[in-house]
Amino acid sequence: MFRHRALVLALMLGFTAFAFVMAGPRAGLLVMVGLGFGLVLEGLRFGFAGPWRSIVTDRDGRGMLAQLIAIALVAVVAFPMLAANPAELAPAHAPVGVAMILGAFVFGLAMQLVMGCGSGTLVNAGSGNLVGLIALAGFIGGSFAGTLHLDWWTGLGSLPVASMQSLAGPNAGLALTLAGLALVGGVTLARAAPGKRIPPARLWIAAALIAGLALANLVIAGQPWGIVYGLGLWGAKLAQAGGADLAQTAFWAAEGNATRLSASILTDVTSLTNIGLLLGAFAVMRWRASPGAPAQALTMASYAGVLVAALVLGYSARLAFGCNVGAFFSGISTGSLHGWVWLVAAFGGSMLGIRLRPMILRPLPAREAMA
Amino acid sequence: MSPSRPLVGTLAMALLLGILALDMARSGVPDLFDAPAAIALGSGAAPGGAHCSGS
């Protein structure tokens, strides 16, 4: 165990130093932030997809409330910070549109089929869940594929970008955001069964740490925490290595995206935190005295289903302008109206996904699993 | 039997290292003289990163 833990520490410190030396201090700091996300999400079992399922199937609202608390904590600091530093900090604002709503609905559905959202997929893969690893590969492919058709989808119609700040100003916008979170919290409490309402200490601590890390991300990177762009970029780089000419595509020919495509991954903000998150989850799994039992073995058809669902997950995240992290967590906590619409659409999709889940995730019969 | 967690986690690390190695071979190493300030807040520079919420 000591050897495992020493290796884990060496891996975390080594990669942070690598990013620092190769790409500068901001890259090193962002890897550290990502590591923090991975350590907290896996170590304190803070998640997004699981609590959305628990409130529906088990009337357990504790995880959902922890999410809302974390978002509120970020909003209280981020709103005034964004208002005071508009030239240096950017919010996660995006337009509400037909494809965005459809994308969020499908994302919510698919995340229940792959047992994780954007951050959850990285955490699951890093912590040694085979479904998570398959989902990660699919997510990378899907989020890249989504960039190829984004123009067509956004052409279906969208509203101008609207935010709580643009509708009500920074102070009233923050009040509206907190009121909205309180409303969702109230609905969650009303739905939750007695004994499953108040989050345990573990989730309070996790919510505070996640909020602190999200604010660190904003201060260091100048933009909120995100997942999807980085994974799409990895897919684009793999496609380019395979011979694809992405200069012919609208998304990757656009100035900023073309620059990132030709530059090192170590200069991309979301890639750096994604790498840290994956490493952090792996570190927690290897740090434990026992890494835990392997995830339940599934039938081959189920693994194929997970791969397809993950492709859809990544594709829909691109259309929805973010996943649970970029759209829901960062969108709402920095005032984006699209974050709220995303929440409603994705929750609807999640409810359908919960119903479809037993049809896709079929355990391998015990006799075959033992073979 | 499902593969062990350490094995799957190691495969995830291998996937990550593979992507990094491929990227480094194709894109080269970043220019440190072009690196942004350590912290965006207070740097005086506009955020240059991409986010999922952007199109």
Residue A211: pLDDT band with limits 50, 70, 90:
very high
Q: Does some domain include residue A369?
A: no
Tell me the pLDDT tens digit for each residue of A80-126.
999 999 999 999 999 999 999 999 999 999 999 999 999 999 999 99
Q: What is the DSSP letter of B48?
A: -
Residues in chain A: 371
Task: For the beta carbon of residue B41, count every other beta carbon within 10 angstroms.
Answer: 16
Which residues on chain B are in Cβ contact (under 8 Å) with A90?
A: 46-47, 51
Backbone angles phi, psi at A108, to 5 degrees: -60, -40
Residue B9 distance to chain A (closest CA, Å): 4
Tell me whether residues B20 and A265 touch, CB distance under 8 A.
yes
Residue A3: pLDDT band with limits 50, 70, 90:
confident
**Sign of the four-CA dihedral A182, A186, A188, A189:** positive
Judge whether A44 and A127 are in contact, CB under 8 Å.
Answer: no
Residue A194 distance to chain B (closest CA, Å): 35
| Chain B touched by A57 (CB under 8 Å) | no
Backbone angles phi, psi at A336, to 5 degrees: -75, 135
Which residues on chain B are in Cβ contact (under 8 Å) with A128?
A: 4-9, 12
Which residues on chain A are in Cβ contact (under 8 Å) with B18?
A: none
* Nearest-CB residue to B55 (from A85, A150, A282): A150
Q: Does some domain include residue A365?
A: no
Q: What is the pLDDT of residue A295?
A: 84
Task: For the beta carbon of residue B32, count every other beta carbon within 10 angstroms.
Answer: 12
Please give the Cα distance from A227 to A119 (Å, whole number): 7
Q: What is the DSSP letter of A156?
A: T
Q: How far is CA A102 from CA A61, A156, A197, A355, in A?
A: 26, 11, 31, 18
Judge whether A241 and B26 are in contact, CB under 8 Å.
Answer: yes
The residue in chain A having the minimum alpha-carbon distance to the alpha carbon of residue B4 is A294
Q: Does some domain include residue A366?
A: no
Tell me the pLDDT tens digit for each residue of A4-26.
899 999 999 999 999 999 999 99
Tell me, what's the ipTM? 0.96
Judge whether A16 and A35 are in contact, CB under 8 Å.
Answer: yes
Q: What is the pLDDT of residue B49?
A: 83
Integer-rounded Cα radius of gyration of chain B: 18
Please give the Cα distance from A263 to A129 (Å, whole number): 31
Please give the Cα distance from A361 to B9 (Å, whole number): 21
Residue A27: pLDDT band with limits 50, 70, 90:
very high
Tell me whether residues A130 and B8 touch, CB distance under 8 A.
yes
Q: Does some domain include residue A255?
A: yes
**pLDDT > 90 in chain A, percent:** 94
Backbone angle region of A81, left / alpha / beta, with phi > 0 → left and psi within -120 to 50 → alpha: alpha
* Lookup result for tokens 């994956």: A278
Please give the Cα distance from A210 to A56 (Å, whole number): 24
Q: Does some domain include residue A157?
A: yes
The residue in chain A having the minimum alpha-carbon distance to the alpha carbon of residue B9 is A128
Return mean pLDDT, chain A: 96
Q: What is the pLDDT of residue A335?
A: 97
Q: Does some domain include residue A370?
A: no
Residue A193 distance to chain B (closest CA, Å): 33
Q: What is the pLDDT of residue A371?
A: 53
Backbone angles phi, psi at A298, to 5 degrees: -115, 165
Please give the Cα distance from A219 to A83 (Å, whole number): 13
| Chain A touched by B31 (CB under 8 Å) | no
Amino acid at the residue A82: L
Residue A348 burial class via C-beta count within 10 angstroms: exposed 0-12, middle 13-18, buried 19 and up: middle
Q: Does some domain include residue A82?
A: yes
Tell me the pLDDT tens digit for each residue of A192-204.
999 999 999 999 9
- Parent domain of A118: 2-359
Closest by CA position to A287, among listed B44, B52, B6, B46: B6
Q: How many domains does chain A have?
A: 1
Q: What is the pLDDT of residue B55?
A: 52
Task: For the beta carbon of residue A216, count every other beta carbon within 10 angstroms.
Answer: 18
| Chain B touched by A252 (CB under 8 Å) | no
